[in-house]
């Protein structure tokens, strides 16, 4: 059968049961999605956080090796738990990029090997497309078109999402990502990895207004971000200071207040500019409680709804990858790499539609 007729068959008879694999960084995620019923049957995530903690950050080689160790048992366990057989799988979706090259290769190799053995397609998915679409798995689903704020360890972007595969970049960070800024500032404050949750916890004991940090690009009139200056401002603040507990908490609070204020201001501007009424927040930083509270309050006063994925789907997971594959197939969109594979450690989402 030619490639074209194989693809045509795939779109006419989209697979029902899709296994989703996520291995782009430090979480091994496996999920089983029933595309006919539009239902997630189950998913599991193994976080490598503890393993990397000793090194203060993700060690790529250790990440790859751990994905190798975890993938098969996690997939087997999930199939057993959901009462499904491996032979029932109709497609294997995996994160093709962006991410750590070795970690991506583990997921891609696993997906292609299993797909070849079963005679089903392997579908490469853009990690951020997974994050963008993940709120569609929650009970409160957004309706296209909507604005999405992607705030993760590697990305800070505002996108206009017109439909599956129709993503327009409205603005993005010029340097550090929001999560990266959280992580680097946490390191400056002597907190472990990953820094975001730890910094946020410390900030709970901090007093608002004790230190004033800049709000980079808040008045730039566009939807671009910059966070590296904020981290430098924290560095100047802590250099030579007495690092007692209250001081650190006050600095954490000042940092979080600054970053939240910038993110909220840019989201508000994006809603105003696009005239849309739903804002979807995706990516790890979306778990930040003060950010959620401030976005909700702004949405209320400005007249837009803020929608978050379920907390367990905010961070990296295989469910969003399986879902993205199902939706792309249903929409008749190109799916990557049915034959042979490459991974894409750097990959622009707007170009992936
Ligand atoms: O989306 P994600 O799980 O992984 C990728 O980067 O793709 O995001 C991880 C990032 C890390 O930088 C982490 O510090 C940050 O999300 N993060 C948080 C919180 N939870 C996770 N940042 C601030 N507050 C949180 N509660
Ligand atoms: Zn992610």
Q: What is the mean pLDDT of the chain?
A: 92
Q: Stretch 186-200: mean pLDDT, rounded?
A: 92
Ligand 1 center–CA 151 separation, angstroms:
8
- Atom index in ligand 1 nearest the CA of residue 153 equals 6
Its pTM stands at: 0.90
pLDDT at 315: 87
pLDDT tens, residue by residue, 52-62: 988 888 899 99
How far is the C-alpha of 278 from the C-alpha of 259, rounded, in Å?
21
The residue behind tokens 């360890």 is 153
Q: Stretch 196-225: mean pLDDT, rounded?
A: 96
Which tokens sit at 111? 């997906």
Q: SS3 for 291?
A: helix
pLDDT tens, residue by residue, 112-160: 999 999 999 999 999 999 999 999 998 889 999 999 999 998 899 999 9
- Atom index in ligand 1 nearest the CA of residue 256 equals 23
CATH 3.30.420.40 residue ranges of the chain are 3-133+314-351, 141-308
Ligand 1 center–CA 259 separation, angstroms:
14
DSSP state string for 193-249: SSHHHHHHHHHTTSPTTSS----TTTTSSSS-B--HHHHHHHHHHHTTS---HHHHH
**Architecture of the structural domain at 3-133+314-351:** 2-Layer Sandwich (3.30)
The set of residues, in sequence order, having a beta carbon less than 8 Å from that of 19 and lying 6+ positions away, is 30, 31, 32, 75, 89, 91, 92, 93, 111, 114, 318, 322
Residues having CB closer than 6 A to ligand 1 are: 25, 152-154, 179, 182-183, 194-197, 200, 283-285, 287-288, 315-316
Work out the percent of the chain whose per-residue pLDDT is above 70. Answer: 95
**Architecture of the structural domain at 141-308:** 2-Layer Sandwich (3.30)
């Amino acid at each position: 059968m030619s490639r074209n007729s194989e693809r045509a068959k795939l779109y006419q008879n989209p697979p029902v049961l899709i296994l989703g694999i996520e291995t782009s960084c430090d979480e091994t995620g496996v999920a089983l999605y029933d595309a006919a019923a539009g239902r997630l049957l189950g998913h599991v995530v193994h976080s490598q956080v503890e393993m990397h903690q000793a090194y203060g950050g993700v060690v790529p080689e250790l990440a790859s090796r751990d994905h190798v160790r975890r993938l098969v048992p996690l997939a087997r366990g999930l199939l057993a738990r959901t009462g499904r057989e491996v032979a029932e799988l109709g497609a294997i979706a995996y994160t093709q990029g962006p991410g750590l090259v070795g970690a991506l290769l583990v997921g891609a190799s696993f997906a292609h090997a299993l797909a070849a053995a079963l005679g089903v397609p392997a579908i490469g998915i853009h990690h951020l497309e997974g994050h963008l679409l993940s709120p569609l798995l929650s009970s409160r689903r957004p309706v296209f078109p909507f604005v999405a704020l992607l705030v993760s360890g590697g990305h800070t972007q505002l996108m206009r999402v017109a439909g599956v595969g129709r993503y327009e970049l409205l603005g993005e960070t010029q340097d550090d990502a929001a999560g990266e800024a959280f992580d680097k500032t946490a390191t400056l404050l002597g907190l472990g990895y990953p820094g975001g949750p730890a910094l946020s916890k410390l900030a709970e004991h901090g007093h608002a207004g004790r230190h004033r940090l800049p709000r980079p690009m808040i008045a730039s009139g566009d939807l671009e971000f910059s966070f590296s200056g904020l981290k430098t401002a924290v560095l100047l603040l802590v250099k030579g200071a007495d690092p007692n507990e209250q001081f650190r908490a006050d600095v954490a609070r000042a940092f979080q207040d600054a970053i939240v204020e910038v993110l909220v201001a840019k989201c508000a501007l994006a809603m105003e500019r696009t005239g849309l009424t739903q804002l979807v927040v995706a990516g790890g930083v979306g778990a930040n409680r003060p950010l959620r509270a401030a976005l909700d309050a702004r949405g209320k006063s400005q007249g837009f709804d803020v929608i978050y994925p379920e907390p367990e789907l905010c961070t990296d997971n295989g469910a969003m990858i399986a879902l993205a594959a199902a939706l792309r197939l249903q929409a008749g969109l190109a799916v990557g790499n049915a034959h042979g594979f490459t991974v894409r450690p750097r990959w622009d989402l707007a170009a992936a539609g």
